[in-house]
Chains A and B, each alone.
Chain A
């Protein structure tokens, strides 16, 4: 529901089709709270730029246990953030 609110009517966001085909498992970071930049209490969230979530195991060290890492597909609001705020060159706006 939040995605619909955050997206301009008729306009959606996606990874450039050629790039998505070349790298279907791309990941990047977005702020947890999209209204503020990453840092100063606003954690970074890893998102997948492809259609499927991406999983991996982060090896443990003496300071932390092994962890399962999941990057869920970016929502329209997160793609919009990358397009409008970061001016990410691989994200494009299109008409629905």
Chain B
């Protein structure tokens, strides 16, 4: 993207802007044929078939997050994008899901923030309607972890979703209902 320094004004009032994510949706990158942009925001997806967005409802215990950390190495900029989701308990269903998820190379996630913003992880920032391009530096994969921990703590299944891109993510205006309708 062309260089431009754009000012950012801090929010002036004292409305809380709590961090974290409250819900996510995911699909394989190969399931998306086209991403539609309207004034720079993702307003539509075209999918190879229906029912390919999976819903992830994780523990709302202030552990889920999605962070994009920029770094520069010898004038080479990149963004490490990492989401963390925790599901209490361990079950055969969780183990089967984890074993399937670990083998997906390129995944796309919509993370819903508590302030309503929806960030799309898994492909490079799009500036025009078209097919998405996977995160260039490292594909966005799911890294599951299954911990019994000790009796003093909680048994849990955790997903870390990690990729490395050249750009920060797009946002989308699609609602939960719209995503699930696809």
Contacts and interface: CB of A to CB of B under 8 A. Distances in A.
B160 interface: no
A38 B34 contact: no
Contacts of A29: 44-45, 174, 178, 181-182
B51 A69 contact: yes
Contacts of B44: 28-29, 38, 86
Interface in B128-176: 129-131, 173-175
B87 to A, nearest CB: 13
A44 interface: yes
B50 A25 contact: yes
B47 A26 contact: yes
Contact of A49 (B46, B131, B181): B46
Contacts, number: 83
Interface in B37-85: 38, 43-51, 55, 57
B49 A25 contact: yes
Nearest to A23: B48
Contacts of B50: 25, 27, 46, 48, 54-56, 69, 71
Interface in A5-29: 19, 23, 25-29
A88 B36 contact: yes
Nearest to A46: B181
Interface of B: 33-34, 36, 38, 43-51, 55, 57, 129-131, 173-175, 177-178, 180-182
Interface of A: 19, 23, 25-29, 37-39, 43-46, 48-49, 54-56, 58, 61, 69, 71, 86-90
